Amino acid sequence: MTFLPKWLTFLKGKEVVIANAIIAILTIGGQQLFSFFTFSCPCHVGQNLIYGLAFLGVPALILLIVGYALNNQTWRLVMGKSSHFERESSSNWLLKYKLLCFVLCSITGRALVAPVTWLAVTLINGSYYICAVSEYVPVHYYGAAPNVTASERSRILATFPCGQLVPPELSRARDEVILLLRYQSQVAGWLLIAVVVITVFLSYCLASCFSPLSFLHFRYWNSYVDNEQELFDEATEQHSRLYAMQNVRKFFGFVPGSENVKEIRIPSLREWQAISGLAFLKRVDKEHYDYSLLHDWALKERASGKDHSVITFILLPMKSEGDNEN
């Protein structure tokens, strides 16, 4: 029974590492499925390189953009910054830009997990690389097709990724070329992994060396930030709900879920039109915004101080079928 709590204690504070590991595993699985169902080298001169590089680079680029988009820090970094920097004095710009670079590097590091994993797995697999560069291999080392023109040799080399298109007399040369290209691709994949691992390790070491906090103080800071964000989210949900209840009650005269409702309000046609339509974030003054049309209507009604008539009614208890029979 004590085994699970120990594991939970060990994993606490390692959410980023666990999330990156999950992203890497999902990327590996997706790459295998993607290669199995969609990849088919055209084995044609001029098309192999474009096709191979497209399958190698485009998914990595998409994963990088998705990594940026799914990170909340990205939107916290960019939203509303134009007006924010206008209010900053020039003396604080240098500090602001240093913080901006630090946060941007952190966001980029997390966003690179999926694309780097994609590139490393595809290079280790070798299929995309073989398709892309097969027609550029110096095949004269293998004695294949020595008496043909350069264009014909490129056409023959382009068919090497597709074994069924290679003439029987070139099968051995084709196998040797495929082995060479797979060797190059896998070495490049493992070098990429090694460079990334070393870079990440050195980055963490340098960040720790220049950190003003001690190890335990840093753990406390991380715990505080997590708890603050959790409590802030809870307070945001409750505050926005209570504020919305005030506006809904202003319009209908009661709040949904209320018990023993005795009064309701009948909105007029003008009021229905005022809260209908497309809602845009509207700036009221230098410090406040209208979040919706209903919010805008409620603020105007409070400012005008109008008294609205309500309908008061009494809820009578429902009679049961037995009472009706009697």
pLDDT in tens, 116-148: 999 999 999 999 999 999 888 876 655 555 666
- Does residue 6 carry a pLDDT above 60? no
- Cβ-based neighbour number of residue 120 at 10 Å: 22
* Backbone dihedral angles phi then psi of residue 149, each to the nearest 5 degrees: -75, 170
pLDDT, averaged across the chain: 81
Tokens of 161: 């990724």
* Backbone dihedral angles phi then psi of residue 70, each to the nearest 5 degrees: -85, -5
- Does residue 192 carry a pLDDT above 90? yes
Among all chains, which residue has been given the structure tokens 């680079």?
A: 57
pLDDT at 302: 83
pTM of structure: 0.75
Mean pLDDT of 246-253: 90
Find the DSSP H helices in 39-92: 48-69, 72-78, 81-87
Three-state DSSP state, 119? helix
- The pLDDT confidence band at residue 19, using thresholds 50, 70 and 90, is confident
* Backbone dihedral angles phi then psi of residue 137, each to the nearest 5 degrees: -75, 135
Q: Which of 123-127, 163-167, 305-309 has the lowest mean pLDDT?
A: 305-309
Mean pLDDT of 105-115: 90
pLDDT in tens, 281-295: 777 777 788 888 899
Interatomic CA distance for residues 239 and 173, integer angstroms: 72
The secondary structure of 253-293 as a DSSP string is SS-TT-SS--EE----HHHHHHH-S----EE-SSS-EE-SH
Three-state DSSP state, 312? strand
- The pLDDT confidence band at residue 277, using thresholds 50, 70 and 90, is confident
